[in-house]
Amino acid sequence: MTDINWPPFILFYLAALIIPFAGKHLRSAVLLATPLLGLLLLYFQSGELLQDNAGLQLILLGQPLSLYRVDKLSLLFSYIFHIAAFIFAFFSLHLNDKSQHCTAMIYVGSAIGAIFSGDLISLFIFWEIIAISSTYLVMASRTEAAISSGIRYLIIQLLSGVLLLIGTLLFINETGSSVFSAMALFAVEHPHSPQISAWLILVAFGIKCGFPPFHNALTDAYPQSTATGTVYISAFTTIVAVYTLARAFAGADLLIYVGAAMAIFPIFYAVIENDLRRVLSYSTINQLGFMVCGIGIGTELAVNGAVAHAVNNVVFKSLLMMAMGAVLYRVGTVKGSELGGLYKTMPYTTVFCIIGAAAISAFPLFSGFVSKAMILSAVLAEQQTIIWLILLFASAGVFHHAGIKIPFFAFFGHDSGIRTQDPPKSMLVAMALAAAMCIGIGIFPQTFYELLPFSMEYKPYTSHHVLTQLQLLFFSALAFVWLKRLGIYPPELVSSNIDVEWLYRRLAPKLWLQIQQGLHRAETSVQSMAMKASAELIDATRSAATENGWLTGKWKTSSMVMLMVVLFGGLLIYNYL
């Protein structure tokens, strides 16, 4: 081994430099080879780095930067990011857009760089590159809606970066160090005294993670991106934020309640949403809620469950996004009201979508089951019964909107009459790889558990876990069928549903228009009064200057002296006070 172990993100940045000048075949080779080489580099270096942390160290403005801090937590996230990048490269091979490929390499490399950052300064640098590159992927379709959505997305992402920067500067000022590790929200000596720097950093992480009310950055941007762009941005940005929360704020009680809220409220919006990629965006927030809640519990089992679910989410959520991306690629829309019957001509995509739906719904023998079970067990072990019931209800909701609604309205339901075909083979290969991982992790969870941050003995396939989950899924499916037959289940309507974003997309413009109109009326009124007063003053002056006016009359000497004193006094006051 060399004295300096180079972090894998450098490979992705080099690939981004090569892609603009490469032909189609070389570009495809670079897209596929980069994550594989990065994975091999990581594998051969990880043993040494886990022992002595001999990663790349730099000095910037007197502050040490650690660009390659490796432990079991960062290693696991990096593994899944490399694997996801390889799968997504297959999915995007059909794309003849060098700018998207180049930006995707920068984006993935920055996400990996953020995972390995051992200090807050380098984390901030990668944090901002993630924001800018992901924004380009949102705007890559170059439609007016995508550009507007991208601008809103960028504003929220940059707000996160500004808060992280301010928090970092305050943290360095308070501690004299920029090391990125566990943080306390309240001072140890004064339990009621908040640590402002830690709170700012927490909010910065929360914005990127989709904490309410900033979650609309996801639901607004994801549906506007290209078929491949959405797959990328739905897999990395929020999971980087989950990693940072697990690194810095494990055991923070506040996250339990934030996570529970995130897990439950998106269900109601997802059920009535017509755009199926927007449904998956709400589903992303729902899944993030489970992770955040587990991090808030803070026990080894809970953190392991949150981390495992984050890794699984990258796979099964990407599989569903790829399935919808394939539909968008072939049909041109993912509106539930316009789809249906696609299983007849897109059979492979249908099967892969069902596998992703089963995984996200936590069916036994699928990946979601082996990670979500850990979170629920950890919550119950801490006697958080209400939170456990909320998460249980949220699990049923996931099955409704992601497990049933997505495949049902896209591929089954009514026959829309659309006759197309499965997407190109490269896209099918990508979905097949993700589907294999969903099944493989579900069948062999112990191998997966060995990679988690904390060693543990946990068996997901107990009779209690399996029966509880099967009952939940059975009665959820029964409720869907019953509501559908009674005509109570919300139909797929041609409509746009907005929640918190109504405040800045509807209310704020109306308020600003009212303010502008009020200011215009006030300006007009003041101008009118000023013109009237000026006219009266001019008339009075003219009247006074006439032959019989008071200005042309005879003045006593004493009156003139008094007038000069007053004028001179006013001049002194004006100049010296």
The pLDDT of residue 2:
46
CA 394 to CA 401: how far, in whole Å?
11
The pLDDT of residue 569:
82
Nearest to 360 by CA among 444, 290, 278, 273: 290
Q: Can you list the alpha helix ranges (DSSP code H) found in 19-97?
A: 24-52, 72-91
Domain boundaries of the chain, sorted by first residue: 1-249, 259-507
Nearest to 412 by CA among 351, 362, 359: 351
Q: Is the pLDDT of residue 468 over 80?
A: yes
Determine which helix (DSSP H) or strand (DSSP E) holds 66, and give its type and residue range: strand 63-66
Quick check: 157 and 150 in contact, CB under 8 A?
no
The pLDDT of residue 375:
95
Structure tokens at 185: 């929200």
Q: Which residues contact 186 (CB under 8 A, 6 or more apart)?
A: 192, 193, 194, 195
pTM: 0.87
Q: Is the pLDDT of residue 3 over 50?
A: yes
The pLDDT of residue 38:
92
Quick check: 438 and 316 in contact, CB under 8 A?
yes
Q: Which residues contact 98 (CB under 8 A, 6 or more apart)?
A: 19, 20, 22, 27
> Which whole number is the average pLDDT over 243-253?
95
Between 516 and 307, where is the model more confident?
A: 307
Nearest to 115 by CA among 295, 298, 242, 289: 242
CA 306 to CA 259: how far, in whole Å?
11
Q: State percent of the chain over pLDDT 70.
A: 92
Determine which helix (DSSP H) or strand (DSSP E) holds 427, and give its type and residue range: helix 425-443
pLDDT class for 369, splitting at 50, 70, 90? very high
- Bridge partners of residue 335, in order along the sequence: 275
**pLDDT tens-digit map of 336-351:** 888 988 999 999 999 9
**pLDDT tens-digit map of 105-143:** 999 999 999 999 999 999 999 999 999 999 999 999 889
